[in-house]
Amino acid sequence: MHLMVDRLRIGQVPVDVVSFAQALDAVEALVAAKQGGFVFTPNIDHVVVADAQPAFAQAYQRAALCLADGMPLVWASRLLGRPLPGRVAGSDLIVPLLERAGRRGWRVFFFGAGPGVAQKAAEVVEARFGTQVVGVASPQVRLEDAAQVDAIAREVRAAAPDLVLFALGAPKQELLIAALGERLRPAVSLGIGAGLDFLAGTVKRAPPFFRQHGLEWLYRLAREPRRLWRRYLVNDPRFALILWRTLRARGPT
């Protein structure tokens, strides 16, 4: 299912021109339609990975909703002449979305994160919002193992969720969501990265100043330099070239 919203493209990645409030309403519309659908939250790392990995780019082409998770995408949209209303970070979206799930009686499934994290996150949201978490799972996912992907589909479907939050990090979570495809219908699938860790309190988010000024990457790099230095200092600068190619492809305005 594709929503009727304005959509721009940066490299191989689509980005929907919606505000934060519109994004929440759009996810609700997907749930209410009971046709399934993927919701992804692209940032510049996703744009760079999609440029090099066709399978990741193809997963994005199938997404019903793509929400700009990083301020650089908001800035890029202005250069492209289709300005985004603002950043719609997946980590910011999760709490109001789960509050709404509690009010609407949606059934939610948490998939991914480290051992015990999904269960802890479930306990937190059930206590705070009354959200009905009908299942949690945190296996070591091997995307090349078709039998495991089939087993995941059966496990999630058996819980009959309306909403499934996948917390595996990119590109694995998007590739898994795409591999599961329509088998999770009518559930809507969201890729949320470290969202369950934030809910459970096992990982701290960057302070508001860093998030508001597009510097969350710097905060994360300072905290996890060994794991993230290549992504932020080697891979992500390629975004500038991808944006330049996108601008050239648009031609004169």
177-186: pLDDT as tens digits: 999 999 999 9
Instruction: Kindly report the average pLDDT of the chain as a whole number.
Output: 91
The pLDDT of residue 235: 74
d(CA 12, CA 112): 26
pLDDT above 70 coverage of the chain, percent: 94
For domain 7-200, the CATH class is alpha beta
d(CA 111, CA 184): 13
**Residue 160 predicted with pLDDT over 90:** yes
- How is the chain split into domains, by residue range? 7-200, 208-250
> What average pLDDT does this structure show over 18-37?
96
**Residue 253 predicted with pLDDT over 50:** no
The pLDDT of residue 4: 62
Whole-prediction pTM: 0.91
> What average pLDDT does this structure show over 141-168?
97
CA distances from 101 to 24, 40, 96, 161 (A): 11, 18, 8, 11
Q: Looking at residue 182, what DSSP letter applies?
A: G
Query: Contact at 8 Å (CB) between 7 and 77?
Result: no
Alpha helical stretches, state H, 65-145:
71-79, 90-104, 117-129
